[in-house]
A and B are shown apart, each in its own frame.
Chain A
Amino acid sequence: MKSATRLLAVTAALAASALVLGGCAAAEPTGPDGSKKYTIAFIPGIASDPFFKAMEVGAREAADDLGIELIWQGSASDYSPQTQIPFVDAALAQQVDALILVPTDPDSLQASVTKAEAAGIPVITVDTTVTEQDYLTSHITGDNVDGGRQAAITLAEQIGGKGKVFIQSGSPSATTNTLREEGFRDELEANYPDIEIVGREYSNSQPANATSAINTILLNEPDLAGIFAIDGTSGTGAIAALKNSGKVGDVKLIGYDAYAAQVEALQEGVFSALIVQQPGEEAKLALEYALAQLTGEGKDDIEKTVVIKNIVMTKDNFDETGQYEYVE
């Protein structure tokens, strides 16, 4: 039935063009004043870590204030380039206006940055970065080496400049961890010759591993003066170990990051200090810079590298520093 076929073809064509036109219209979200609303993808290192959760809260708040459409997507539980790259590729395929990235590996994510460059999409890195930073609009980070250094100085002060200390690290491959350890060791070596580092173990995301390791070290070194717990998981394990062996207060514990649970422990006196970053601030600045780059307004104020300082939080200075507790 030729005429029926023709009718069908025409209807199909009309429907298709309607869809395409409708799609075009829908693809351009408009801001409150009718101007273009930018879509920015923010890919954290890992979605389930409290540090990145706090970053997400800051990012969403900033996105609301600035009128940005935020896509927050990341690997649920794996801090690795294999799981991160698909998210980055998806964002680029969606042709977002800008990309904010927390690279899980400086070399593996380089290709993704190059892809973004080819597509003309501005890229900002937060916390960690890639090897070639020429294309980046900016790199915003807390300073992990400085954090380690501050931890060393604070611990040294608290134990009277001499004694044995132990490092409980999270992972041997996470640059955040290795840089903090580096800062800690360098500072002690340079300025505190009477402090001896008696060992270093890894928690590998399991607090129970930290508890076990610290219990064992306490066994070996009954006069241990201090512990530096490099990440949140190590901190949790350390708290349990110290409570377990009744050494709370005798052994000074420096932790990293101000999650609610850690701040609570600080108030209880289990932690003697926390080195606090500002993940929400990093996210906010990243979004501001991204918008500036896209709209051209305030583009000259963009700094190529921004280092957001760490804060040393103790029970004594909590009145001033309490505000830096991570929002969950």
Chain B
Amino acid sequence: MTVESSPVQEQRGARIRAVLLRQDVLLLVVFIAMIAFFSILNPRFFSAAAAANILQDFSPVMLMAIGQAFVILSGGIDLSVGAVLGLSGVTTAMIIRDQSANGSDPGVAIALGLIAGVVVGALVGLVNGLLITYGRLAPFIATLATMGAAAGITLVVTGGVQIAGAPRELILLGNTTYLGLFTIPVMVVIVIAALAWLYVSRSKFGRWTYAIGSNSFAARGAGINVRRHLLKIYVISGVLAALAGAFVYFRLGSGSPLSGRGGELNAIAAVVVGGIALTGGIGRLSGVILGSLIITAVLSGLIIIGVEPNWQQVVIGALIAVAVGIQGIGSFKGRTL
């Protein structure tokens, strides 16, 4: 878009408009409006306790959304994250249960459990990456297959039964709030989100991801090892989903084989609401952070103002439709970093 020699004021006006129509600014406005709306209808919504609850719901969704953002930016999609959350969660739960039963120190048990869960997530991510790069399967198909396999393995391994046996320390770790708002897992997630935001926008890794998402042929031509990069991306997605699984387990004190079901849809919704195009190569992580916040906060808000459970799903669906519609108005296309 070339700008003819126009008065300074017109330029400034256009710049302000451009800022206001940015997806993440729009989302911030929506988020604030939503908080105001719920708080007016029920002042209890505007409290530390409500915020703490929302942050705990937000954590696993944010982690999976970050992984999903990387994947979708690169032009792919990862449907297996919900199942990975479940599988890694129960893996962590089982290791911690067995270690505690053998009398290990709780810190050691928790560390081992986390490592085991993350390894499982990384492995599934690796399988996804290999199927897509060397197996030449479409990401949708490959991750659909691993989703089924992971969900099945979770049920086989647990026998459908929840895994109990968590030590006291673990439940404290998952639930003690600092400043009335943040648990340790929530703080970890916030740090990871910040790091991801910087990484996506300012690193070579981030730029390569956008490049591959925009045009993978050109990217390869420019010398990027597309295969290796995609492998890393899917492994990251798996690792983040595994971490989400561990944190859900910490919050509940019990590993449920059905946790995470449908999680991939929440992650994709957060990414789409956040302004990342499903075709790849376009979007910001800041939008994804706000998208995740909005999706989790709206559910809590609807409960607090007493909306019937069945209507909650309708509202969320409408929200996603509106958010994507706004994306069109904001003419987001073309902006990358």
Chain A residues packing against B (C-beta within 8 Å): 46-50, 52-53, 76-77, 172, 199-202, 205-208, 211-213, 215-217, 219-220, 232-233, 236-237, 239-240, 243-245, 259-261, 264, 328
Contacts and interface: CB of A to CB of B under 8 A. Distances in A.
Interface stretch (B105-113, B234-242, B256-264): B256-264
Interface string B95-134: 0000000000000000000000000000000000000000
Q: Which 3 A-B pairs have the closest CB atoms?
A: A48-B160, A261-B164, A215-B53
Contacts of B310: 172
A206 B259 contact: yes
Contacts of A219: 44, 47, 49-50, 53, 304
A208 B57 contact: yes
A208 B162 contact: no
Contacts of B248: 208
A16 to B, nearest CB: 38
Given A208-B252, A208-B259, A239-B253, A216 B303 contact: yes
B160 A49 contact: yes
A320 B160 CA distance: 28
Grouping DSSP codes into helix (H, G, I), strand (E, B) and loop, the B interface class, with mixed when no group exceeds half, is: helix
Contacts of B284: none
Interface string B225-253: 00000000000000000000000100111
Interface stretch (B151-159, B213-221, B271-279): B151-159
10 contacts: A50-B161, A53-B159, A77-B151, A206-B259, A207-B259, A208-B57, A212-B53, A220-B42, A233-B256, A239-B253
Contacts of B152: 76
Contact of A206 (B47, B50, B161, B261): B261
A50 B160 contact: yes
B309 A328 contact: no
A206 B261 CA distance: 8
Contacts of B57: 208, 212
B143 interface: no
B34 interface: no
Given A206-B261, A207-B254, 20 more contacts: A47-B155, A48-B155, A48-B257, A50-B162, A77-B160, A199-B306, A201-B303, A206-B258, A212-B53, A212-B299, A219-B44, A219-B50, A232-B162, A236-B162, A236-B256, A237-B252, A239-B253, A239-B254, A240-B171, A243-B175
B39 interface: no
B201 interface: no
A217 B303 contact: yes
A48 B154 CA distance: 10
A240 B256 CA distance: 13
A205 B261 CA distance: 9
A205 B47 contact: no
A243 B258 contact: no
Contacts of B60: 208
B34 to A, nearest CB: 15
Contacts of B257: 48
A78 to B, nearest CB: 10
Interface string B303-323: 110100110000000000000
A232 B160 CA distance: 12
Contacts of A77: 151, 155, 160, 258
Nearest to B160: A48
Contacts of B251: 208, 211, 240, 244
Given A53-B160, A201-B309, A243-B253, A213 B155 contact: no
B164 A260 contact: yes
B52 to A, nearest CB: 8
B149 to A, nearest CB: 12
A205 to B, nearest CB: 5
A328 B161 contact: yes
Given A208-B248, A243-B253, A259 B259 contact: no
A217 to B, nearest CB: 7
Contacts of A216: 50, 53, 300, 303-304
Contacts of A245: 49
A193 B1 CA distance: 71
A162 B205 CA distance: 61
Nearest to A199: B306
A261 B162 contact: yes
Contact of B171 (A52, A201, A243): A243
Nearest to B303: A216
Contacts of B258: 77, 205-206, 233
A90 B130 CA distance: 36
A213 B299 CA distance: 9
